[in-house]
Amino acid sequence: MVNVMRDSDKQGWRHFIRIEKRLDVPPVAYVLVLLLSLLLVILLCGLVLARMGYHPLEVYKTMLGGAVGTPYNFSETIAEAIPLILCSLGVSVAFRMGIWNIGAEGQFFFGAFTASLAALYLPSGLPRVVMLTVVIVAGFLGGALWGVLAGVLKTLANANEILTTLMLNYVAIGWVDYLVYGPWRDRAENMPYSRLFPSSAMLPVYPGTSIHAALLLGLLAAVVLWVVFKRTTWGYEIKLIGENPQVARTAGINIARNILLVMLVGGGLAGLAGMGEVAGIAGRLSPNISAGYGYTAIIIAWLGRLDPLAIVLVSIFFGGLNNGGYALQMVGLPSSIVTMLQGAILLFVLGGDTLMRYRIRFLGWRRDNR
């Protein structure tokens, strides 16, 4: 424990407040910090909104209604959560190993591209099961390829993965832009998106909602990852590399191979998210398929402490936030409030993270006798 004594010399008193470092942090403390941060953010943003002339309670009520007000809205929240779940899970695998995969956005787009490729260029007469399988696999492979690209650059050239994955994000988005404004432009409507996918290439949807089959993929991935991390040797290797790569090396673990694997899996999951957006919701490839899911995924993965099940819960929460943001837009309020809220929550959690490691013990007053 770090004992820091505070002297209040001016008064001749010495009050003993010991700030001691905790030796371990119980998960309960973390949840408390999370909730406290949420509360603080709501209060703070409420104050700012009031200053700007908005009515904070109205704003929050609209958001809440948009998120879970009606069963339909709730289903929209779940649908909004699907790409978040997949991208966040993907990002969390790499993070566990200490690899900063910031490229979920680009992997999302590239997976959307390859899924669209399959949907648009496979013979439309194929039975739906086959079509869907190919589209799903194509989406995974596209994202995986985009992720592995950064992985290769890291293992061969030691190129910082934060920067390469980021740059690749812009390249992937640029690629999709090029396609939909160029060769894939829908000639009939002359709009910057591709033509519609055949219905056999569309994912099944829960009737009456936007919830599509990729949700199942997301939940399945969460369960699989949970098992992998808790009980398998590969999960152990990843954890060890993330905690202490030196020790991992002495244990004979092949770090380079694992870098490629996590980028492959992570990219593939983000690619599935992209596939889900084009084959489950949009029905065509366009530049508007992502509301920054790849970046929000990073916040979610961190807030969820890289735990697959927590990530699912946090994703649903953020899906609600996004949905709430759309509701705001519909009444003319800026949806950027939501982005700021999301960022602010994590900023508070990051700060609270450290405070959580200290414990204040008040030992009482004692007159200083000299």
CB of 134 to another protein, least distance (A): 27
CB of 129 to another protein, least distance (A): 30
Report the site for another protein in 152-191 (rule: CB under 8 A).
153, 157-160, 162-164, 166-168, 170-171, 174-175, 177-178, 181-182
In this structure, what DSSP letter does residue 291 have?
A: S
Residue for token pair 């010495």: 14
For another protein, give the closer residue by CB, 1 or 35.
Answer: 1
Between CA 300 and CA 346 the distance in angstroms is: 9
Applying CB under 8 A, does 249 fall inside the site for another protein? Answer: yes
Applying CB under 8 A, does 91 fall inside the site for another protein? Answer: no
Instruction: Find how far residue 119's CA is from the centre of its chain.
Output: 26
CB of 247 to another protein, least distance (A): 5
Binding letters toward another protein, positions 130-149, x by CB under 8 A: --------------------
CB of 251 to another protein, least distance (A): 5
Which pair of tokens denotes residue 360?
């204040």
Which pair of tokens denotes residue 59?
């704003």
- What sign results for the dihedral spanned by CA atoms 295, 275, 110, 148? positive
CB of 216 to another protein, least distance (A): 24
Instruction: Find how far residue 16's CA is from the centre of its chain.
Output: 43
Based on the number of CB atoms within 10 Å of its own CB, is 42 exposed (0-12), middle (13-18) or buried (19 or more)? middle
CB of 250 to another protein, least distance (A): 6
Size of the site for another protein (CB under 8 A): 66
In this structure, what DSSP letter does residue 367 have?
A: E
- In a 13 Å sphere around the CA of 64, the CA atoms on its Cβ side amount to 7
For another protein, give the closer residue by CB, 77 or 169.
Answer: 169
Q: Which one of 201-209, 215-223, 339-347, 361-369 is the stretch in contact with another protein (CB under 8 A)?
A: 339-347
Other CB atoms within 10 A of residue 68 CB: 16
For another protein, give the closer residue by CB, 190 or 250.
Answer: 250
CB of 159 to another protein, least distance (A): 4
For another protein, give the closer residue by CB, 135 or 349.
Answer: 349
In this structure, are residues 270 and 114 in contact, taking their beta carbons and an 8 Å threshold?
Answer: no
For another protein, give the closer residue by CB, 67 or 248.
Answer: 248
Angle at 165 between CA 224 and CA 215, to 5 degrees: 30
As a whole number of Å, the end-to-end CA separation of the chain is: 27
Angle at 327 between CA 321 and CA 331, to 5 degrees: 140
CB of 14 to another protein, least distance (A): 11
Applying CB under 8 A, does 72 fall inside the site for another protein? Answer: no
In this structure, are residues 294 and 169 in contact, taking their beta carbons and an 8 Å threshold?
Answer: yes
What residues form DSSP beta bridges with 17? 362
Binding residues for another protein (CB under 8 A): 1-5, 23-24, 100, 102, 153, 157-160, 162-164, 166-168, 170-171, 174-175, 177-178, 181-182, 231-234, 236-237, 239-240, 243-244, 246-247, 249-252, 292, 295-296, 298-299, 302, 334, 336-340, 342-344, 346-347, 350-351, 353-355
